[in-house]
Amino acid sequence: MELELSEAARSTAGGLLVAVVAIEWGGTHLLRIVRGRVPVTEFQQAFARAGHAHAGVLVTLALVCQLFADAAGLDGPAAIAARNGVPLAAILMPAGFFLSSMKRDAVRPNRLILLLYAGTASLAIGVLALGLGLLMS
């Protein structure tokens, strides 16, 4: 059985795989934090860990979703949501963790925490569109 990817899946997956390098780089920064080489508050360390973990997990899920989106044969807005919801969440959610904790000596998130909520909505819309699309295909 030969797997043929759509152009949309191929280009999105290619971008996601390139993004893994950025996640790796972020991991080296996280290691410096954990080893005490970058001074941060406990809150900032927790948010750095959460942001890094969400980035890795969501990029992996987004790659899998590209295959399922092709298999579901969706078109129109449902296809756009199914194919792009999780990759968008993979950007927004880690950004919410990182950017909302950037201020020196921060002990609580700033307004950019809204990015985390936007990512949560994007994730929900994407997986719901894809899940329903697969169930109805």
What's the CA gap between 96 and 110, in Å, rounded? 9
> How many domains in the chain?
1
Number of Cα atoms under 13 Å in the Cβ half of residue 112: 14
> Is position 98 within any domain?
yes
Each residue's pLDDT tens digit, 59-71: 999 999 999 999 9
> Is position 130 within any domain?
yes
> Is position 111 within any domain?
yes
> Which secondary structure element, helix H or strand E, spans residue 95, and what is its range?
helix 76-99
Whole-prediction pTM: 0.93
> Is position 71 within any domain?
yes
Residue 67: which residues within 8 A CB-CB, separation 6 or more?
3, 5, 9
Q: Is the pLDDT of residue 54 over 70?
A: yes
> Is position 36 within any domain?
yes
> Is position 2 within any domain?
no
> Is position 75 within any domain?
yes
> Is position 14 within any domain?
yes
| Domain that residue 42 falls in | 8-136
Q: Is the pLDDT of residue 2 over 80?
A: no
pLDDT at 3: 74
